Amino acid sequence: MKNIILIDKPIGLTSNDVVCKIKKVYGYKKVGHAGTLDPQASGLLVIGINRGTKLLANLLFDDKQYEATFTFGIKTNTGDAQGKIIKKCQSHVTLTTIKKASKFFLTNEYYQTPPIFSAKKINGIRAYKLALASKKVKLKPQLVKIKKMKIIKFDAQQQTLKIVINVTKGFYVRSFCNDFAKKLKTIAYVSALRRTKSGKYDLKHALSLDTYLCQNKPIKVV
């Protein structure tokens, strides 16, 4: 597909930061992305350039795949490692209880409330900006589904869980982490997150942002 490039977004940059860098370096009139990645998350960012931006609206509906690590017994205000710790507790999650909870979420679609520290807009203002200003943030739950979930590693001593999940559009891993922890009668936060797939696009075909910025012309994915 012409005018689409795949970038492996580094931790610390917003999706919009990446868009602005590409636009500034190459002078493209139009640059956009097909799905936001949190600053604390890394991985696949599908970028549309000029005519490619017209394709992004449809690409937003694509399923996504993530590698995520949950740390139980700790809760942060943002739901990830970037936030402040607001609560701690003794966690005694086991692999057995994790598998049981996984079946519950894999059975049906469920209504998920987006994190208040997110790019969702409320009356034209980003939710995270309202949250940072200590304003009341109320976001509507949205119907999402986990299509696949694979347990990669569970460390009972450290109370950490690494998984790979395939999800529908609009899915927030941070919200799922919170919901999953509640099902396990504990708390948790996303200590690591990496997007590995977006629709038909795979992270293994992506290049680092630095690679694109150091080249004279971005490689187009056809």
Q: What confidence category does residue 219 fall into, taking pLDDT thresholds of 50, 70 and 90? A: low
CA 95 – CA 99 distance, rounded (Å): 6
Q: Is it the case that residue 118 has pLDDT exceeding 80?
A: no
Cβ partners under 8 Å of residue 49, min gap 6: 3, 4, 5, 22, 26, 28, 30, 31, 218
Residue 49 near residue 38, CB atoms below 8 Å: no
Q: Work out the percent of the chain whose per-residue pLDDT is above 70.
A: 91
| Average confidence (pLDDT) over 127-142 | 74
Q: Is it the case that residue 217 has pLDDT exceeding 70?
A: no
**Start and end residues for every CATH 3.30.2350.10 domain found in the chain:** 64-195
pLDDT tens readout for residues 54-82: 989 888 889 999 999 999 999 999 999 98
Q: Which tops the pLDDT comparison, 148 or 128?
A: 148
CA 40 – CA 28 distance, rounded (Å): 27
Q: What confidence category does residue 163 fall into, taking pLDDT thresholds of 50, 70 and 90? A: very high
**pLDDT for residue 153:** 98
| Average confidence (pLDDT) over 205-212 | 92
Average model confidence (pLDDT) across the chain: 90
Please tell us whether the domain made up of 64-195 is placed in CATH 3.30.450.20.
Answer: no
Q: Which tops the pLDDT comparison, 105 or 117?
A: 105
**pLDDT for residue 62:** 92
**pLDDT for residue 218:** 57
CA 153 – CA 86 distance, rounded (Å): 26
**Start and end residues for every CATH 3.30.70 domain found in the chain:** 4-61+199-214
Q: Is it the case that residue 43 has pLDDT exceeding 70?
A: yes
Q: What number of other Cβ atoms are within 10 A of residue 114's Cβ?
A: 20
Residue 89 near residue 186, CB atoms below 8 Å: yes
**pLDDT for residue 1:** 46
Q: Which of 58-67, 124-133, 163-172 has the lowest mean pLDDT?
A: 124-133
Determine the topology of domain 4-61+199-214 in CATH: Alpha-Beta Plaits (3.30.70)
Q: What confidence category does residue 222 fall into, taking pLDDT thresholds of 50, 70 and 90? A: very low
Selected catalytic residue, list 8, 17, 38, 202: 38
Q: Is 63 a catalytic residue?
A: no
